[in-house]
Amino acid sequence: MAYRVKTPSILSKVLYRNLVWKIPVGDTPAVYLTFDDGPHPTATPFVLDQLKEYNAKATFFCIGKNVVEHQDIYQRILKEGHRVGNHTQNHVNGWHTKKNKYITDVNEAEKHINSNLFRPPYGRITRGQISALTQRDKPYKIIMWDVLSGDFDTTINGQKCLDNVLSAVEPGSIIVFHDSQKAWDRMSYALPKVLAFCTEQKWQLKALTTT
């Protein structure tokens, strides 16, 4: 499977500068955990319990149809002080979807997810789609990442997933995990250890800001 754990700077600094890849480091170093594809009936509650244990906040990029199906878990995410973002209604791939259809899917998810944060499924989005989402009445802030855990990669184990994160994380990092069935084995192994590591480094674990 072809993917990069650490986002190459040619993407973040040259080609797609108007997307958010990393957060500038302030007085207190912080990292930003993100969870894509939920809410999921077992993975999401597990993540929420872990976050609570470490007094951590995070951002959940939810799929609209999963929010409809697991409304109670979606409400729990909000109630516990985390932030949510739009990850489309049906997890559509921007490279294989015409602009109008893509925007319609985002708008459908918007009925269920109240947020100005957006993350494109698979990280795949065209320039036209970016323009449509960022240049409108209520513009979206498009959130990418600089650290990909690889928890979706069924060819690696939890330890490799953990190593991926620990080798790349630094203050300001936006880290991608998944609260999904597919990622469960690796995410459930790596997440508690990543939380422990960041806490030991005295890095705050914060939700992304909407401004």
The residue annotated as part of the active site, out of 27, 36, 163, 179, is 36
Which run of H or E residues covers position 189?
helix 184-200
Concerning whether 36 is annotated as a catalytic residue, the answer is yes
Residue 68, φ and ψ in degrees, nearest 5:
-60, -45
179 binds Zn ion (CB under 5 A): no
Phi and psi at 161, nearest 5°, equal: -60, -45
Residue 37 in contact with Zn ion, rule: CB under 5 A: yes
Site string for Zn ion, 113-132 (x = CB under 5 A): --------x-----------
Give the residue among 160, 125, 159, 164 at the shortest CA–CA distance from 147: 164
How many residues sit in the footprint of Zn ion (CB under 5 A)? Answer: 3
- Give kind and range of the element (H or E) at residue 61: strand 59-62
Catalytic residue among 40, 82, 87, 178: 178
Q: What's the one-letter identity of residue 211?
A: T
Active site residue 96: no
Min dist. Cβ of residue 121 to Zn ion (A) = 4
Annotated catalytic sites, by residue? 36, 178
For Zn ion, the binding residues (CB under 5 A) are: 36-37, 121
